[in-house]
Amino acid sequence: MKTLTLLQPESFAYSDTEKPSSLLPNEVLVKVHKIGICGTDYHAFWGRQPFFQYPRILGHELGVEVIAIGSEVTEVTTGQKCAVEPYLNCGKCWACERDLGNCCENLQVMGVHTDGGMREYIKVPAHKLHVSDKLNYEQLALVETLGIGAHAVERANVQSNDLVLVVGAGPIGLSVLEFVKLRGAKVAVVDRNIQRLDFCLEHKKADASIIANDQTVEQILEVFGGKMPTVVLDATGSPASMHQSFNYLAAGGRLVFVGLYQGDYQFNDPSFHKRELTIMGSRNSKPNNFKEIIAAMETGELSVDSWISHRITFEEVAEQLPKLYTEPSLVKAIISWE
């Protein structure tokens, strides 16, 4: 079967590998139909993904078809279309014991810590597959990215009367916006990139857009009728932005870091106490998020077709992936086999 391996930073190689054969009782063999390309993939390519080991087969945003099932599999049957939950948790640690598989102490993310889906077939534990008979493979490939937003909005416990600011209008910021809107809250998005902001407004992903500059606070107050936000979700992973986000909250506000950076975070304690803030991290997503997202996409309540800005074939990945990264019109790129 065709396989694409990232040998080392900036070096892809196509090869012919053995199609997986023997399945464990709880395993499923799936055919990969569509693959979403994510920030992690670009960072891995450029050698900027911390703790990343090479060689690695990338691909963790997958729309797949069930080809064969292990002897004890009851969750899926052959021919079914599925999204893949790529977070392989141990099921035994203290986090897993408390239903926090997304924060498992031994977490292995497919396509990041273990080999992923940039190949024709892959074996997946049955309980990591989420079936939909209605969605197409492209939609299924977007479920994982959407999960990041769904989980973050769940962490923030966004209510319809919240005033919400989403910082960062890239794919993760967009996925956060989708779920804030579903909860009926007023939401504004801030970014430095005007094209990204225009995309959010044009596709009705936010009620207002704010260009990040030295007047950001004034713009926030204007958008929310003189009030500061009750929830801020920062999807930038930029330390400068994350330090600013702390200043955007009203009393009782919740700050959720969806993006992360490799460093220490500092804040002014009196300013934190005075406003009685809550600061939260949000990591990956949980199985229930996959189920809810698929249900919302099936009813049409959630539509992300407008996200797909680029479609490339599997054969084009090695050449096109580096170029896509600097493409100004990039929102989301999807890989097809055909």
Q: Applying CB under 5 A, which residues contact Zn ion?
A: 38, 89-90, 93, 96, 104
**Least distance to Zn ion from the beta carbon of 16, Å?**
27
**Least distance to Zn ion from the beta carbon of 87, Å?**
10
Nearest CA-CA partner of 43 in 321, 335, 234: 321
**Least distance to Zn ion from the beta carbon of 101, Å?**
6
**Structure-token pair, residue 37:** 């390309």
Nearer to Zn ion, 16 or 51 (CB): 51
Q: Are 309 and 333 in contact (CB under 8 A)?
A: yes
Query: Cα separation of 19 and 28, whole Å?
Result: 13
Nearer to Zn ion, 252 or 281 (CB): 281
Nearer to Zn ion, 38 or 189 (CB): 38
**Least distance to Zn ion from the beta carbon of 37, Å?**
8
- Parallel/antiparallel/unpaired status of strands 121-125 and 108-109: unpaired
- Surface-to-core class of residue 70, CB atoms within 10 Å of its CB (0-12 exposed, 13-18 middle, 19+ buried): middle
Q: Which sign, positive or negative, has the C-alpha torsion 235, 195, 316, 334? A: positive
Nearer to Zn ion, 108 or 271 (CB): 108
Nearer to Zn ion, 89 or 245 (CB): 89
Q: What is the largest CA-CA distance in the chain?
A: 63
**Least distance to Zn ion from the beta carbon of 75, Å?**
20
**Least distance to Zn ion from the beta carbon of 104, Å?**
3
Helix axes 171-182, 143-156, angle to 10 degrees: 60
Nearer to Zn ion, 96 or 129 (CB): 96
Which residue matches tokens 């009728």? Answer: 225
- Surface-to-core class of residue 110, CB atoms within 10 Å of its CB (0-12 exposed, 13-18 middle, 19+ buried): buried
**Structure-token pair, residue 223:** 């958008």
Q: Check residue 279 and report its DSSP letter.
A: E
**Least distance to Zn ion from the beta carbon of 136, Å?**
19
Q: Which residue number is nearest to Zn ion in terms of Cβ?
A: 38
Nearer to Zn ion, 138 or 162 (CB): 138
Nearest CA-CA partner of 307 in 333, 327, 282: 333
Helix (H) or strand (E) holding 182: helix 171-182
